Amino acid sequence: QVQLVESGGGLVKPGGSLRLSCAASGFTFSDYYMSWIRQAPGKGLEWVSYISSSGSNKHYADSVKGRITISRDNAKNSLYLQMNSLRAEDTAVYYCARWGATMWAYFEYWGQGTLVTVSS
Amino acid sequence: EIVMTQSPATLSVSPGERATLSCRASQSVSSYLAWYQQKPGQAPRLLIYGASTRATGIPARFSGSGSGTEFTLTISSLQSEDFAVYYCQQYNNWPPLTFGGGTKVEIK
């Protein structure tokens, strides 16, 4: 069965950095686009970034552009999110999610999420 | 950016009753609309994609309809496990991929 397991969240000071990971299993990882989606405490869902199956195409939400980098290692079945210059408003649960088949941009499978807290 | 607006923000329904949730797009998204269910402390779960196609394992009491800018998620007979927050998401015009603000379905 499809499994997505995030890790790497934690408490970080404003201006700090963090690298999130998402380990994928149960499907051919290199065939699928992937995304990171976040949810601030008590708030709704916000798409953060996506990466194509090969890793050649990437896009970011305006709210994180220039501070966050998405990447993947298809040999390791892993997705990453490098987060720099973190702000209080980046505090959220971060989910990795697999797109639907044939590049349809809905989120068919989600991980359980990892909490990032930005606070001094 | 396409803005997705969901209504109502909260819907109070008795078990066994029908629930109708609305989602409106600021411009046409054709049928590229998905619905998700999220329970407290859990990740969202895909219910519907393509506006009306149920995802794998989703019960038939969940149905989606609409196209263009107006969409509806209907839960025909609410079960106890259906009380949750529901989000719509468009994937016609991206980036960015955008979600609605959610509708909380609570027990009346």
pLDDT digit string (tens) for A43-88?
Answer: 999 999 999 999 999 999 999 999 999 999 999 999 999 999 999 9
pLDDT at site B38: 98
Give the Å distances, CA to CA, from B3 to A53, A104, B71, B85.
27, 19, 14, 19
Contact between chains at B43 and A35 (C-beta distance less than 8 A): no
Average of per-residue pLDDT across A4-12: 98
Q: What angle do CA A61, A115, A6 make, to 5 degrees?
A: 80
Who has greater pLDDT, A104 or A38?
A38
Q: How far apart are CA A14 and CA B92, in angstroms?
A: 35
Predicted confidence (pLDDT) at residue A7 exceeds the cutoff of 80 = yes
pLDDT at site A98: 97
Predicted confidence (pLDDT) at residue A104 exceeds the cutoff of 90 = no
Predicted confidence (pLDDT) at residue A102 exceeds the cutoff of 80 = no
Contact between chains at B91 and A106 (C-beta distance less than 8 A): yes
Residue A63: closest CA among chain B residues belongs to which residue?
B96
Phi-psi region of B64 (alpha: psi -120 to 50; beta: other; left: phi over 0): beta
pLDDT at site B52: 98
Considering Cα of B88, then B91, then B93, then B94, what sign does the dihedral take? positive
Contact between chains at B96 and A35 (C-beta distance less than 8 A): no
* Residue B75 pLDDT level (bands cut at 50, 70, 90): very high
Tokens linked to A73: 């290692």
- How many other CB atoms sit within 10 Å of the CB of residue B22? 17
Mean pLDDT of chain A: 97
Collect all residues of chain B within an 8 Å Cβ-Cβ radius of residue A46: 99
Tokens linked to A11: 């408490």
Query: Which residue shows structure tokens 């029908």?
Result: B18
Q: Which of B46, B97, B103 has the highest number of chain A CBs within 10 A, making it the mutation to test binding with A?
A: B97
Reported as a single tens digit per residue, the pLDDT across B15-57 is 999 999 999 999 999 999 999 999 999 999 999 999 999 999 9
- How many other CB atoms sit within 10 Å of the CB of residue B73? 28
pLDDT at site A101: 81
Average of per-residue pLDDT across A1-15: 97
pLDDT at site A33: 96
Residue B51: closest CA among chain A residues belongs to which residue?
A106
> For residue A41, is the peptide bond before it cis, meaning its omega torsion is within 30 degrees of 0?
no
Average of per-residue pLDDT across B78-91: 96
> Could you tell me the end-to-end alpha-carbon distance of chain A, in angstroms, rounded to an integer?
40
- For residues B28-57, b (16+ Cβ closer than 10 Å) or e, as one string? ebebbbbbbbbeeeebbbbbbbbbbebbee
Residue A5: closest CA among chain B residues belongs to which residue?
B43
pLDDT at site B78: 95
Please, which residues bridge with residue B13 across strands? Answer: B107
Contact between chains at B49 and A104 (C-beta distance less than 8 A): yes
Under an 8 Å CB criterion, which residues of B touch A? Answer: 32, 34, 36, 38, 42-46, 49, 55, 87, 89, 91, 94-102
Query: Which residue shows structure tokens 């999420």?
Result: A113
Contact between chains at B91 and A105 (C-beta distance less than 8 A): yes
